Amino acid sequence: MEKKKYYSCHLRTHDRKWITVMALLAHVARGCSRIPKLQLEAALSVRFQSTLSHNDTKARRARELRPRRNYLLNDEVEQHRKSLLQQSPEVEEIPVQQAEANVPRDFRHVMPEFLPDPNPLYRDRVTEKLERMDMYRRRTCIDIPEFYVGSIMAVTMADHHAPGKQSRFVGICIQRSGTGLRADFTLRNVIDGQGVEVRFDMYGASLQKIEVLKLEQRLDDELFYLRDAAQEYSTIPFDFEPVPLPKGATVPVNSTKVKLNPRPWLERWERHELKGVEDLNLPEKKYRRARQVAKPWERWDLMKRQRESINEDEEESIMKETYMETESTRRARGRQKASLKKTR
Amino acid sequence: MATVSAVTLRNALCQLQCRLTGVPQHAFGYVGLVSNYCQVRTKKQTKAQYKLEPDWFVNRKNRRQGKALTGDNEDFVQEVIGDTYRNQDSMLKEDPWPRQEYHRNTRRTGVVAIKLGVVPQWTKEGHKFFTTLLQVIDNHVIRYTPPEEFEKTSGWKPWWGQRFGSVVVGAMSSDPRNFSKAYNNLFTEAGVPPKKKLTRFLVTPDAAIQPGTPLTAMHFRAGDHVDVQAKTIDYGFQGVVKRWGMKGMPASHGVTKAHRKMGSTGGGGDKSGIWKGKKMPGHMGDKWRILKGLKIWRINTKYNVLYVQGPNIPGNTHGVVRIYDTILRYKRPAPDNHPPMPTWAEEDSQQGVELEYFDENLHVMSEASVSYSQ
C-alpha cells in the first residue's frame, strides 16, 4: 500500500496539524470556485515528499539558536591549504637568496605600502601575496620612487580632457596612506590663488610618470595644516627644477616652521602635537583644554602598538621579499640609494 | 470572470500560498514559494525563529573519545590515512563518463570557495574597480543523482520536474577521525577524504559529472559571469536603526529616551494593532544571499583563485561561498563559446595551463600604463 505523504513545508499551522493534499486544494477550490473538481483530482496524482524531521528535539532547537561562527579562522584555512590530504597542497618556497638577504634596517619606511593592514579580521596570506606580486609587476613598468611626506613631486597621468591626452600635476606631498594596491598619496599646490589637492592611486593604471623633484622629509607625518597656513608655503611652480641629492646622502629633513593663519581653522591644531608649526599664539584656556583631552599614555601603550603593527617575523620576511623583488628595478635605474636612516 | 483552462500543480499551490499568506502572486521569489522580498501584512503567517537541519543530514560529529596517541604513533596514523586516500582512485573503477554537448539551457555544477579579501584592479581604460578573491580549496564531486532518482528524494522540489539532477560537491578534505562513521561513509563512492563543507548544485543531465572528479578554478574562464551565494555577516541582535535603516530621533531638542527607537508602530482604529512583518529589532545577518551576474576578471591557477567583480560578496573574510554559472540569460555564454563540459579536464589545455588568465578588458600590471590616443 502506498504510504501517504503530505506536502507540508510551508503550511504548518500553529498546533502543527498536518493538512492533507485534498484538504489543501479543496481550500483553494473554495476560494477560487472556477477550478473544476475533476482537474483538482487529476493534480493529486503527483507524489509529495515529507520534510518532517523526526529529530526535532529541544537539544536540536537549542543548537540551531546558538550563535555560530559562519566563517573559518585563519589557522584553519592555512591548515587546509597545506594539508597533505589535498590533491595539490600549497608549498611555500622561499629562495635561499631571499631568506638570507641583508635588508637595510629602515627599508620599511621606503616602501611602507607593502606591509599589510594589521587588522586581523582582514588578514589573509594569499591575498597579500597576490597583491604584492601585482605591485612588483607594476614597479617594473613605472618607476615609483622613494618619497616622503614633504617631498615635492610631479605626476603625469592619462587624461581624456587634457591637451595631448595627459596632464601633469606638481605639488608637495601632504599625505601618504593605504596598504597594498590601495596605496595613495596626496599632492597639494596653489593654482591661481586656489589651493588644490589631488589624491593619486600609487599603483593606478593611468599614472604614466611619477617624479620626485625634491626628496625631503618634514617634521610631521601629515601636512594638513598647510590648508590653514599662508598660501606661500604650499605654492610650487609647475616648472620646478629637480634638486638632485649628492650620492650617499641621508634624506634631508626640512625643519621649516610654518606660520598658521589666524583662526578659525579646519582643525584644532593645538591638540595635534605638531612639530612643524610656529607658536600658535592661542589663549591659555585652549592649551589647558588640549592638555585635558590629550592621551599622553598612548606613547607607552604597548598593546596599541602591537595592534597597529604586524608580527615582527612576518614583517621581516615580507620586507626581504620586497627588497629582493625590487632590487633589479632599483639597479636598472642606476640610482644610488640614499641612506635610509630616518633622522626624526 | 477569469477561467483557468489547465490547472498545474504549481498554480494550485501558488494560489494556496496566496490565500494563506496574503502575499500577492506576482511577488513570489524564484527560489521558493515563500518570498522574503515583500512585507507581509497578514494574520496567518508565522516566521520560524530557527530552521532545523533537513532530514537527510547525518550526524557529523565523532562522538567517540579519541585516544591520545604518542608523537610517533600519531605520525604513523597520519601517514596511513594519507596513503589510503592516495592509493584510492575511484575514477579508475569505472570508465570515465563521456563528455556531452553544451546547450542553451545547460546547467553545470558549481564550486565551493573561500572568500579571501578585496583588491582593486584597473580596466584598460584606466577605470578602477574592486574585485573579491575567492579561493577554490580542494573541491571534489561527491555524488551525482540523475533526475529520475533525484525526484524521489526529500530534497527535491516539485517545480523542478525532471529537468535537474543533483551534484553534491565537497570542499576541504579533513582527517576522518574528526567525523562520525556515518559521515565518512558518504565519501566512499567518490574515494576522497571526508570534506569539511558539502553543498548541492542542480545540474542538467548533459552536465552529469562523475563522483571523485576534482574541481578547480579552471572550471570557469576569465570573462565568464557567475552567481555567488554566501551567508551574510552575523550582526546578532540589532536595533531598528542598524537593522532596517530607520532614522531614529534627534540627539537633543527635548527628545526623551527615544534616540534610536522605532517610534510609531502603525495606524490606529481599524488597522487593528501591529501588522505582521512590522520592522522591529531582532536578529540581523547570517542569511544566504545571492549576487547574480558577477564577472570573473582573472584566474590564478597556482592558488586556484578567482577575481570576481565587486567588493560586496556577502560574509566575513574566510567565509564559505557557492559559485555557479549565472542564470541571467544575457550573461550566459553562447553554445559555440561554452565553458568546459562538465568541468575542466587536462585535454582542454593542450598548450599547457598558464599561471594566470585575464579578461580582455583588464589592465595587466606587467603592461605599460594606460594612455589615450589623440
Three-class secondary structure of residue B212 per DSSP = coil
Kindly indicate whether the ipTM for this predicted assembly is greater than 0.90, answering yes or no.
no
Residue A44, pLDDT > 60, answer no
Tell me what the mean pLDDT of segment A3-31 comes to.
Answer: 45
Query: Half-sphere exposure of residue B316, counting CA atoms within 13 Å on the CB side?
Result: 17
For chain A, say whether B158 makes contact (Cβ under 8 Å): yes
Residue B9's pLDDT is what? 47
User: With an 8 Å Cβ cutoff, is B369 touching chain A?
Assistant: yes
Chain B residues touching residue A210 (CB < 8 angstroms): none
- 3-class SS letters over A139-150: HHHCCCCCCCCC
- Please say whether the beta carbons of B230 and B317 come within 8 A: no
A126–B135 C-beta distance less than 8 A: yes
Res. A208: pLDDT tops 60: yes
The residues in A 3-32 lying below 8 A from B, measured between CB atoms, are 7, 10-12, 14, 24-25, 27-28, 31-32
Q: What residue of B is the nearest CA neighbor of A44?
A: B9
Q: How far apart are CA B353 and CA B346, in angstroms?
A: 9
Q: Note whether B29 contacts A: Cβ–Cβ < 8 A.
A: no
Domains of chain B: 7-39 (no CATH), 106-234+285-358 (2.40.30.10)
Report which secondary-structure segment, H or E, holds A166.
strand A166-177
Residues of chain A contacting residue B80, judged by C-beta atoms under 8 Å apart: none
Q: Testing the interface with A: which of B114, B140, B232 to mutate, by most A Cβ within 10 A?
A: B114
Question: Residue A203 in contact with residue A111, Cβ under 8 Å?
Answer: no
- A56, A130, A141 ranked by CB distance to B305: nearest: A130
Bond from prior residue into A264 cis (ω within 30 degrees of 0): yes
Pairing of strands B195-203, B165-173: antiparallel
Question: Pairing between strand B356-358 and B225-231?
Answer: unpaired
Strands (E), chain B: 111-122, 128-135, 139-145, 165-173, 195-203, 214-215, 225-231, 236-238, 282-284, 288-300, 305-309, 320-325, 356-358
Judged by a CB distance cut-off of 8 A, whether residue A160 touches chain B is: yes
Max CA-CA distance within chain A? Answer: 99
- B68 touching A (Cβ < 8 Å): no
Total beta-carbon pairs less than 8 A apart between chain A and chain B: 203
Residue B170: the pLDDT is 97
Which bin fits B31, alpha (ψ -120 to 50), beta or left (φ > 0)?
alpha
Residue B43, pLDDT score: 53
pLDDT of residue B63: 82
| Composition of chain B by helix, strand, coil, percent to 5 | 20, 25, 55
Return the number of other C-beta atoms located less than 10 Å from residue A113's C-beta. 22
Q: Are B363 and B370 in contact (CB under 8 A)?
A: yes
Per-residue pLDDT of chain B (374 residues; tens, 9 = 90+): 333 343 444 454 545 444 444 444 444 333 333 434 455 565 555 566 667 778 788 889 888 877 888 989 999 999 999 888 887 765 556 888 999 999 999 999 999 999 999 999 999 999 999 999 999 999 999 999 999 999 999 889 999 999 999 999 999 999 999 999 999 999 999 999 999 999 999 999 999 999 999 999 999 999 999 999 999 999 989 999 999 999 999 999 999 999 999 999 988 888 888 888 889 999 899 899 999 999 999 999 999 999 999 999 999 999 999 999 999 999 999 889 999 999 999 888 888 999 999 999 999 999 999 999 87
Contact A156, B372 (CB under 8 A): no
Among candidates B7, B133, B372 on the partner chain, residue whose Cβ is nearest the Cβ of A40: B7
**B35, closest residue in chain A (CA to CA):** A10
B197 touches chain A (CB under 8 A): no
A314-326: per-residue pLDDT in tens? 999 999 999 999 9
